[in-house]
Structure 1
């Protein structure tokens, strides 16, 4: 396993530390306390049993032997271990879940960055896997790697100190026999398991995605004659996952066998050394039993690293995927510059191409729009209108040329609503807005009376994708959200697509009225009703502006007449 592989863990560990350092440290401390209580319990119990057996050989020693103090110590250690284990599990899992919640928030912010959002839009399954499987895989970093590693080292040091009271040569020999193999075996297991763990993760993702495609698109696959092929692809992913599982199980079994061998050798060595020390009179037989069981218990935390080693490859893969987005900063290349005074939007010899595409989406295009002007970009689907919107909104960067724009709000073709209350959906645009401001925006969008007539008002719960609202109501809600964004420019990408003519005209009337004379509108459309409010029409074809005509100029009405009627 290459050292640079671990560099992806540093941002994750830093986020863990920022989010919940107190809880994480408390969990590690409780885990160490639990293991040390278990080691002490086993050692004291061994000493007590051996000492009691020896004391029982004669009546005098049996009567003089104190059974109460060791018994009380054993009870105390047993209760302490039980309580420590309970609170350790409670604390470590609570801290982990809280950290992962903070991680998801950071990832949402990172994936909301313009470049990442557009890339994920092409493959949305990736976002699902990153926010579920990859985040879940990172809980192993704390629970099965960091905490067990910390506890194992503490247990090894405590064992060395405790055995040093009896014999320092024995302590250092046992310490080396515990710590060196105890760390080497998990490290070797992690190195061997990295590749199959990574293959297993890839196979799981492929299996999920292909199974979803098979179930959701079985009709289309059957019509295309690809149903059998898709079933074969699902089966192939399942086979790869099974093979990876077999490889991981083999590595884990071999690692467990290695720990068994090391344990047997350590016990044999301590048994012989303890017998020799007892025969020489350096220590007593009960202390020799204590040393034997202490060495046995001290190796157990190292064996606990085995599971973390098996999952370390998956954890590293998740960290490499997520680290770039944990502390992601906005891509300054995507942010438009400030335009010249008197202008709201400007393009100067801009060329833009999407990643993976051969043809340009925009080619050597120049355009200037004054403050307060209403401009419609007209042309057929695929002409490049939405690409211009993406440039002005900072969702795409030009390959060449210069983009300038004031602050914008983009209303896309799709109405994105979430399974939450009306209030929560509106507050996405203005988190600090009060109910009065929300209702004012709904009134301006023509939805206020409808919301007032609902039993729960703004607290009305929407279903997934805005289920519970008609298409026109959903679009009006999106319009209300636009109105709450008090930016000088509104970018409207086919704002009434899919609405009936009456509703669509009402929506455009309200947009025009709300914009007033000071706000700049840029409308991408091929529908007449949306272009009618414009002061200027710019015809886009194959990513180029081929003509422009203002209201009142010859050709304006003719250009409108060529657009799709209501």
Structure 2
């Protein structure tokens, strides 16, 4: 539990860094609402009782002031309504703003070294961090922190008010309120934590398995696993439902506990005020005031019930998210290489968490302005080397120094947006003239101009609406927008027909200028533009040859022809 609570520190720090004033104002308004409610109920009871007693005698009825109490009741009613409205508006706006900032911080964290690789390998589970886990954190402020603070204030206020009638009465009432009112939710939260976590795991498993069922139903049907996957979804649903049932039982126990506490407090208050009124220490209207204050003081503690039920889910979300918030927000970059070099890899080793070492003690340099082709079998470590140079992952040992780089991966990453929006990912302030210029360089301007909406043409997810060749050219145009001194390309023409692939390579060579270029490839047409070829085998550089050497032609001949 202590470890889980420690995970709340970076989240609370973000809460108060983003919306400190709004959060404090919202808490103050919530306390004002509860205090006004207690005062309103107590004053109303006092006024009704006092009016009834005053009406028994003509003399007291004439001199009794009904205007001041009634004005106070109206003021408290209006103030309670206004503060309740302001509290809801302020607290929810602040919470939504903080959660939006949290999503942005988390998403930026996934752009750091290694994190993007994790996102690719586990998209469904990490997407849950942006949705379910962050949504769970709205309970932290709205259903835990604010209700707890308000309940404590209500207990203290009620204790002081009752203590004015008799110190022992106020002390005992305050102790009962704070002990039972805070103890019941705390005990329930501890009991419910395990079941709340199980419910979160069950819902997450159900979502992931449902996504797998929908997205992979063809493969599942062909493999004869469709019924098994449906059964897995149902099993996750039963797991979550069982946790829900346990939580409902605990919740019912908390409701019973608060009901018992309220009964004990009211019974004790009735006996106390009766004794005090019989002894002449307080009047009958004051006795009614005391009973109603005790009755109203229990209500704020009941608001902690929902927070207690969700505390386990909130702590689980904090445990998952907090490590990512603790990382630096600075963009990962490699150190610049020595003068005249595009990059320098010295005795570097790197790998992924779930895989064997992909690079093993690699040393390799490239002069600025030169082009290098990395060749080798699939899984030899070519893409890993590009990820190191792009600073998308870091070396476990050794050093990697490179100029600022742009990576064009094997996959054409296009999004559900317009053509303009997909291009401006590389350069947000690029104007239409610049966009048309890079489209021309990529050989796509004629196709875009033929579309009715031109650059404003919307694309579906993954670039739906464009052919494979057009999608690759659009990605190439986006690369052209990135004016970095080092371009990294991972099989840039894989899957394209011969004429399209050769045209893409020709345009790439025309555009590269004096930039440095590294291409990971299996195809001759991509490697033959290089000044040097490095053969990669099991994570090691086994041979480096330069243009004009016999080994260079031998390396080209090993590659797949156009």
Shorter-chain TM band: over 0.9
| Alpha-carbon shift at residue 76 of structure 1 (Å) | 3.0
| Alpha-carbon shift at residue 209 of structure 1 (Å) | 0.9
| Alpha-carbon shift at residue 563 of structure 1 (Å) | 1.9
Residue 336 of structure 2 corresponds to: 338
Secondary structure of 1:465's match?
coil
| Alpha-carbon shift at residue 453 of structure 1 (Å) | 4.7
In the TM superposition, structure 1's runs of 4+ consecutive aligned residues that sit over 6 Å from their partners are: none
1:515 counterpart = 2:509: no
1:8-47 aligned within 5 A: 8-47=7-46
1:253 counterpart = 2:252: yes
Residue range with higher mean Cα deviation, 377-386 or 201-210: 377-386
CA contact (8 A) 2:527 2:556 kept: yes
Output one character per residue of 1:286-313: Cα deviation in whole Å (capped at 9) or x when no partner. Answer: 1111011111111211111111011011
| Alpha-carbon shift at residue 183 of structure 1 (Å) | 1.2
Residue 142 of structure 2 corresponds to: 143
Secondary structure of 1:288's match?
helix
Residue range with higher mean Cα deviation, 77-86 or 24-33: 77-86
Residue 353 of structure 1 corresponds to: 351
CA contact (8 A) 1:106 1:327 kept: no
Output one character per residue of 1:504-557: Cα deviation in whole Å (capped at 9) or x when no partner. Answer: 2222112111111x2110000111221121112222222232333222222434
1:375-414 aligned within 5 A: 375-414=372-411
Residue 520 of structure 2 corresponds to: 524
Match of 1:559 among 545, 555, 561: 555
Cα distance in 2 for residues equivalent to 1:4 and 1:120: 26
1:107 counterpart = 2:106: yes
CA contact (8 A) 2:108 2:329 kept: no
Residue range with higher mean Cα deviation, 247-256 or 418-427: 418-427
Residue range with higher mean Cα deviation, 12-21 or 438-447: 438-447
1:486-525 aligned within 5 A: 486-516=483-513, 518-525=514-521
Cα distance in 2 for residues equivalent to 1:509 and 1:541: 29
CA contact (8 A) 2:4 2:318 kept: no
Output one character per residue of 1:212-258: Cα deviation in whole Å (capped at 9) or x when no partner. Answer: 22233233223223233323322221221111111111111111111
Cα distance in 1 for residues equivalent to 2:481 and 2:136: 39
Residue 183 of structure 2 corresponds to: 184
| Alpha-carbon shift at residue 456 of structure 1 (Å) | 4.1
Output one character per residue of 1:146-191: Cα deviation in whole Å (capped at 9) or x when no partner. Answer: 1111211221222233223333332222212212221111111111
> How many aligned residue pairs are there?
562
Output one character per residue of 1:388-419: Cα deviation in whole Å (capped at 9) or x when no partner. Answer: 11222222333433322221111101111222
CA contact (8 A) 1:138 1:318 kept: yes
| Alpha-carbon shift at residue 273 of structure 1 (Å) | 1.2
CA contact (8 A) 1:140 1:311 kept: yes
CA contact (8 A) 1:148 1:305 kept: yes
1:541 counterpart = 2:541: no
Residue range with higher mean Cα deviation, 243-252 or 402-411: 402-411
CA contact (8 A) 2:519 2:527 kept: yes
CA contact (8 A) 1:110 1:327 kept: no
Cα distance in 1 for residues equivalent to 2:498 and 2:60: 104
Cα distance in 1 for residues equivalent to 2:194 and 2:218: 37
CA contact (8 A) 1:114 1:330 kept: no
Residue 126 of structure 2 corresponds to: 127
Secondary structure of 1:348's match?
strand
| Alpha-carbon shift at residue 119 of structure 1 (Å) | 1.7
Output one character per residue of 1:63-111: Cα deviation in whole Å (capped at 9) or x when no partner. Answer: 4433343333323322332332223222211111111111100000111
Q: Which segments of 5 or more consecutive residues in structure 1 lack a partner in the other structure? A: none
| Alpha-carbon shift at residue 433 of structure 1 (Å) | 3.4
Residue range with higher mean Cα deviation, 555-564 or 305-314: 555-564
Cα distance in 2 for residues equivalent to 1:555 and 1:5: 59
Residue 238 of structure 1 corresponds to: 237
1:424-503 aligned within 5 A: 424-503=421-500
Change in 2 beyond 3 A, CA 1:456/1:215: closer
Q: Which segments of 5 or more consecutive residues in structure 2 lack a partner in the other structure? A: none
Cα distance in 2 for residues equivalent to 1:167 and 1:458: 78
Cα distance in 1 for residues equivalent to 2:293 and 2:385: 72
Match of 1:374 among 354, 371, 376: 371
CA contact (8 A) 1:129 1:205 kept: yes
Secondary structure of 2:459's match?
coil
CA contact (8 A) 2:203 2:236 kept: yes
Residue range with higher mean Cα deviation, 500-509 or 37-46: 500-509
Residue 82 of structure 2 corresponds to: 83
Secondary structure of 1:46's match?
helix
With normalisation by structure 1, the TM-score equals 0.94
Cα distance in 1 for residues equivalent to 2:316 and 2:2: 14
Change in 2 beyond 3 A, CA 1:470/1:218: closer
CA contact (8 A) 2:125 2:208 kept: no
Cα distance in 1 for residues equivalent to 2:71 and 2:393: 71
Secondary structure of 2:266's match?
helix
Residue range with higher mean Cα deviation, 380-389 or 296-305: 380-389
Change in 2 beyond 3 A, CA 1:228/1:95: same
